[in-house]
Amino acid sequence: MSKNQQFVRFDKVDKSYDGKVLVVKDLNLDIAEGEFVTMLGPSGSGKTTCLMMLAGFETPTNGEIYLDKNPISNIPPHKRGIGMVFQNYALFPHMTVYENLAFPLRVRKTSKEDIDKKVDKALSMVSLSGFENRMPGQLSGGQQQRVAVARALVFDPQVVLMDEPLGALDKNLRESMQYEIKHIHESIGVTVVYVTHDQGEALTMSNRIAVFNDGKVQQLSSPDKLYEEPVNSFVAEFIGENNTFSGEVSDISNGKCKVKLDSGTEIMANPIRVKSKGEKTIVSLRPERAIIDPQKGMDNNHKGKIEEVIYHGDHTRVRLDLLGNKEFILKVPNSSARMDIKVGNQINVGWNSQDSRALDPK
Torsion of CA 301, 307, 309, 315, to 10 degrees: -30
Q: Do 318 and 290 belong to one domain?
A: yes
CA nearest 164: which of 39, 271, 68, 275? 39
3-class state of residue 59 by DSSP: coil
**pLDDT digits over 269-322, tens only?**
999 888 889 999 999 999 999 999 887 788 999 999 999 999 988 889 999 999
Q: What residues are paired with 208 via a beta bridge?
A: 37
In the chain the beta strands, taken as DSSP E runs, fall at 8-16, 22-31, 36-40, 62-67, 70-71, 82-85, 159-163, 191-196, 208-213, 216-221, 243-253, 256-261, 266-269, 280-285, 291-292, 300-311, 315-322, 325-333, 346-351, 357-359
Whether the predicted model's global pTM rises above the 0.85 cut:
yes
- What pLDDT digit, counting tens, does each position of 236-247 carry? 889 888 999 999
Mean pLDDT of 145-160: 92
3-state SS assignment for residue 69: coil
Q: Looking at residue 285, what is its pLDDT?
A: 94
Grade residue 337 by pLDDT with cuts at 50, 70 and 90: low
Domain identity same for 108 and 252: no
Residues 159 and 73 in one domain: yes
Is residue 20's pLDDT more than 80?
A: yes
pLDDT at position 335 is 72
Could you tell me if 211 and 262 lie in one domain?
no
Domain boundary among 177, 208, 233: 233
Residue range of the domain that includes 194: 8-233
Q: Which of 233, 268, 301 is the last residue of a domain?
A: 233
Whether 325 is in a domain gets the answer yes
Provide CB contacts within 8 A for 343, sequence distance 6+. Answer: 306, 307, 308, 309
pLDDT in tens, 176-222: 889 989 999 999 999 999 999 999 999 999 999 999 999 999 999 99
CATH code for the domain of 191: 3.40.50.300
Would you place residue 346 in the very low, low, confident or very high pLDDT band (cuts 50, 70, 90)? Answer: very high
What angle, 0 to 180 degrees and rounded to 10, lies between the N-to-C axes of helices 141-153 and 97-107? Answer: 20
State whether 19 and 47 are in the same domain: yes
Residues 111 and 220 in one domain: yes
Residue 196: inside a domain: yes
**What pLDDT is attached to residue 241?**
87
* Structural domains of the chain, count: 2
In a domain, 138, yes or no: yes
243-257: b (≥16 Cβ within 10 Å) or e: bbbbbebeebeeeeb
Question: Which of 233, 262, 283 is where one domain is finished?
Answer: 233
